[in-house]
Structure 1
Amino acid sequence: MYSMLDNKIESGVQNNLQQVELSLENTLSNLNHVTQQLAFNGSIGQDLQNYLDTADVYEKSRLEKELVNELNIINFANPSIGLTFYYFKNDHRFLFENFPIKKDFDLDSLPILQQYDSITYYGPHKASNRFDDNNVISVFRQANIPDRDDVYVYIETGFKFAEKILESSQDGMQVDHLIVNDQGLVSYSENPADFPVGTMYPDENVPGKSLKHKGYYLFRNVSNQGWSVVSVIPQSEYSKEISEWIKQFAGFSLLSIAVSLLLGWLLWRMVYVPLTKFNKEIMQLTNKNFHSEIKTSQIPEFDHLLHQFWNMRRRIWELLAEVEQKEKRKADLEVEKLMYQINPHFLYNTLDTVCWLARLNGQDEIDGLVTSLNKLLHYNLDKQGQETTIRQEIGALREYLNLQQIRYDFRFGVEIDADATIENLDIPKFILQPLVENALYHGLGDDGVIQVRVSLEGSSHVVLSVTDNGIGLSGETIHKLLHNERGENKKMGFGIGINYVKRVLSSRYGSEAVIQMKSNESGGTTVLLRIPLQKAGV
């Protein structure tokens, strides 16, 4: 709540600050436009040159009247303009001023907002008009009269125009303004005690709510010309505004609670009696009385609900009877399931007996074969779910390889390298054996080598790879395997293991798991699985 109010107030201050900055830019642009008209290249500047160059008294008088009329027209067309005159810098002389000028007029004492080669913008300062003591904004431009580099144009804004721009209130909150020039100096201050004119602004680089300084919040907006406007708000005033908002919200909340309680009481009075009857019907259902007579409340809406409830009660009775029949069938299925579980246990016990007989007769190879088969069957037929650890999956893979090395009539090597730090991580069961089985069935020859690698990639994925040095696969064959397309090897079961692994990864991890195959037709194939450490969506 506090953050929302703080953002709202800050947004309001920033909007107001942008309006002030935009108004100042428009004012300076308007003053600049008028000075261009009064300069030599403007509509009046050439008449001024003729007036200065002519020696004829009558012609000079005529030109003077024309200049005065043209200046009056410009002033009338621009009501925001106040004092206007030409200034001759060498002899400190004024010409064609439309208002009397103060005797202490001094350009060097005016606060510079921004300065270029031929034009200077001054920030808010006391008017040079003798009849006006308000703050104004002014522009001082060289007139560019040929052979006269001492002629300048000076224009100020009109009566109280600057005060209207720098309005000192924001939603009832007292706000002072600073104007900082493009050099970072304060050229105008409504709070000269803490931010005197001519001092460096405390932070030149951070816009917006830049900092807390001397018990104030400073908000700054930089113009395109480089100067900026700053709103200065006392911290107590800023906090007071938030406190007022909180009080208003609390009052509105209390009023809402009171209205809600009143409506709740009215609703309770209006529906309590019908609901009591409805509750009695529910109690009848709780007591398993499914055949009691329906009772009405003489209210059409509630009578409709009671009728629907009576239908629901009848339907529940029918469903209970159906559930009872299903429970009987379920019991029969449980007995059948137990009967089917006898077969795997009988198989395990028989294999254990074969192991002991092999050991008693010194048949170590048969003992090892049956032991590996027994362990592999325990792992694959385990009913504890479809998840296992990396250590258990690799253990089952070793047992499978023991069986295959005895079964095949060619020799092959196996290299298994698993990162010990991730051996206890969970992975789907039975995802390595199909990949190794594909390598054995489809391409591995005499003195072949199968490499199994399990490693951690970054902190989010586990990478499992199976690499063989058998015959390679073409790009077309790899595409068919990865996209489960029918091919010429489909009859031999080629790719069934890959399809199984893809389905398992897709079911558990969605799109977060990746399976890739790389192969060279000259020899060697690698199948790579990249799976996340956690299930997708966890």
Structure 2
Amino acid sequence: MKLTDRILRRLKNITFKNRIIFIFLISSLAPFICLGFISFYTINSIIGNKVESALQSNLKQDLMTLENALSNMSHVSQQLAYGAGTNRLFEQLAAGQEPYERLRLTNELRSELNIITFSNPNVGLVLYYYPDKQTYQYENFRVRGSFEPDSLPVLSAYPEITYFGPHTSYNGSINQYVFSIMRKVNLPDQNVYLYIESGRNALKSLFAPQNQKDSSRRLLLLNDDGEIAFSEVPDKFPVNTMFPGANPEMTSGYSGKYFWNRETSNQGWSIVSVLPEHELKQERNRWLIQITGIFLIFLLVTVLMAWVLWKMVYRPLDKFHREIKSLIHSDATVQTEQTFIPEFDYLLYQTRSMKGKIWALYNEIEQKEKRRADLEVEKLLYQINPHFLMNTLDTVHWLALMNGQTEIDKLVLSLNKLLYYNLGKMGEVSTIGDEIEALKEYLQLQQIRYDFQFDVDLDVDEQCLALPSPRFLLQPLVENALYHGVSDDGYINVSARLQGDELVIVIQDNGEGMTPEKIASLLHDDSKESHKVGMGIGMKYVQRILRANFGDSAGLFIKSDLGKGTVVTLRLPINGREQDGGD
């Protein structure tokens, strides 16, 4: 199941472009491949049957030619072995004593032999053989070498006649393969055999040199026992060995790398043609080369069409992708590129128009928010004119000092310093040390204002004093602690520590605490009532100033239990302000 899920996930992650090309290739090539396989098996069967039929037909023709030649020699041997004329002459020669008479009878016998052989052009060398003496006589052609019929390959042997397979002719005037027969002559008191060879051109088509043949097929001759009597492929089918397909019921088959066909004569011997397997498949291979070339051309055309389809569909979609990505960039160059496909060009036009309207609306909202913030600051400045207020407080300070009112003097001086710090120019860089000093002035004012005593513990690490900080950050948080329940014997603890790459500020009190609903109201309520806390700015101001300076990198957290107090935690990054943040 896990393997199946992995496969499905990979399939789902295939890009649209790859899916288009894959589907197009499959839909285009699948029918062609199926048709190719069907055609291959069909053509292979047709070519195989055609080649085998042609080989079988040629072999039958060769068998017929060979049988006719042997039949013709057998007919001539019958005439000579049983003919009354030649036998009478042999008897007279055996009985005659006069030389002249013997010469006349010999010439007459030779003349009789010449007449018979001349009238049969498929008959070559003819002679009479005496096996007891191993001599011969009355030959019609010069005999080459010594005549040894026992060494000739036997095709078929019968009591009266023996058929010999192809062998080099004993005729001294020719040098080619011939067939021969030997028949016993019908003479009562003599052991004489008639030997006849096939003629010069009787079997020329069968045993011509290989460079003169129309094909590369080779011939084998098997005797009636299935042994090879003659072989044109002696390295693969040696003479005097059993043929691999000796079973007479088998007419064709494969042996090694050769395909063979066999035809059996009426006398029991067989003629076999063998053809190298690669030549048998030559025509099929030629067809395969042609169909492979067509397939490659078709594949090239298919890939080209897939590329055209990708260009027509995928590239316009890619332009849509770029247009959508550019929606987040207000300064992106306005694209006017077209796909030249009316439907896609219309969608691109709509997308670009939507992009322009979105950014126009965004700019409008941004300008409105900026004007709203400026109006709020301007309203605050008009409500509290800092120059007028600080000059007035300075006058009160000198009057109190002249009249010996030290408490009033101390109060006015702290208030003047606090206002001077808090009403400083927006955007000016402040530090944690400045915030702590302003917080001390604020706490001194509050201790004079409230009629109860409370302790304040400032525990700030010296390494934190020089760190930059937004202006007016700590006072609203401490004011929130005073507002929510610190009374007699109360305390407020303000600590600042470095933790890794963060500045952690904790403001803790032992006041009455707050409910979760109250905490949510302080953090999220933007109504007028919430503005009463922290000089009308309160917790909402702290959240906004953090978001403006640090984005999402800073955090404000409140934890409170009724009757136990409240803990407010600030986490500020010390690596600088957010890139997107600003005053």
Which bin holds the TM-score, normalised by the shorter protein?
0.3 to 0.5
| Larger Cα-atom Rg | 2
TM, length-normalised to structure 1: 0.44
TM, length-normalised to structure 2: 0.41
